[in-house]
Amino acid sequence: MTTPAHVAIIMDGNGRWAKARGLPRLAGHRAGVEALRKTVRAAGELGITWLTVYAFSSENWSRPKTEISDLMGLLKIFIRRDLAELHHSGVKIRIIGDRDGLQPDIRALLTEAETLTRNNRALTLVIAFNYGARDEIVRAARKLAEAIAKGEITADAISSETVGAHLDTAGIPDPDLVIRTSGEQRLSNFLLWQAAYSEFVFQPCFWPDFGRTELEDALQAFAARERRYGGVDATKQGVAS
């Protein structure tokens, strides 16, 4: 079975999971963190080398203040409680998103997690926090425009590679597989550039119910896909797509 090197997940449905049980939304997010722990473990065991999770989008600021502070609190708890264990298991942590918009204590924690784990080699866990793909592309465009203004590069030197190298995901391979839970079928401003040739698997379960079995199901669906990257399958006479 072909295992994707990089799996990216839109962890959706915490709120509906909680509502279905008559619980506050925070309980859903807490259960979501538990599902994240299980998924990181399973991903490592299944031979995935990059796992990216969408934990807080740049659009999530429009949620009620209490929910925003709950999500910030959960990130802090996740890093404080799990960092030692993740490090011990050889997990490398990378954060993507706009850090400038985050509180100094959170920024410091994110830097601590990245610094401590930077030489680890088992699995890279990429946490998208205060992340929005359009914002990421805009920030990359600004950096390139500044480099041109300073005479460091010329406009015609800009290529897919130079754009990619200015995104938050510089150095991270594109996701092979994007999973979204909760039955919604859209990308919601997640990895718009990087997912150009990704396979998509949409699963009906809410994120807190996601675990090893659901991950294995998604990997199986991925293995059955035929990836052509706009070309044709060498073994068949196909039409480019």
Q: Which residues are catalytic?
A: 12, 60
Stretch that binds ligand FPP, among 29-37, 103-111, 189-197, 217-225 (CB under 6 A): 29-37
Among 75, 93, 140, 219, binds ligand FPP (CB under 6 A): 75
Place of tokens 């991903």: 43
Q: Under rule CB under 6 A, how many of the chain's residues touch ligand FPP?
A: 17
Stretch that binds ligand FPP, among 6-14, 40-48, 213-221, 230-238 (CB under 6 A): 6-14
The C-alpha atoms of residue 198 and residue 88 are separated, in whole angstroms, by: 31
The C-alpha atoms of residue 191 and residue 128 are separated, in whole angstroms, by: 9
* 132 lines the binding site for ligand FPP (CB under 6 A): no
Tell me how far CA of residue 93 lies from CA of 35, 168, 223, in angstroms.
17, 13, 27
* 190 lines the binding site for ligand FPP (CB under 6 A): no
Q: Residue 183: left (phi > 0), alpha (psi -120 to 50), or beta?
A: left
- Measure the CA dihedral 18/16/109/167, to 10°: 170
Place of tokens 């279905």: 20
* 97 lines the binding site for ligand FPP (CB under 6 A): no
Among 33, 51, 140, 167, binds ligand FPP (CB under 6 A): 33
* 131 lines the binding site for ligand FPP (CB under 6 A): no
* 13 lines the binding site for ligand FPP (CB under 6 A): yes
The C-alpha atoms of residue 118 and residue 115 are separated, in whole angstroms, by: 5
Residue least distant from ligand FPP (Cβ): 15
The residues that touch ligand FPP, with contacts defined as CB under 6 A, are: 11-16, 29, 32-33, 36, 55, 60, 71, 74-75, 78, 207
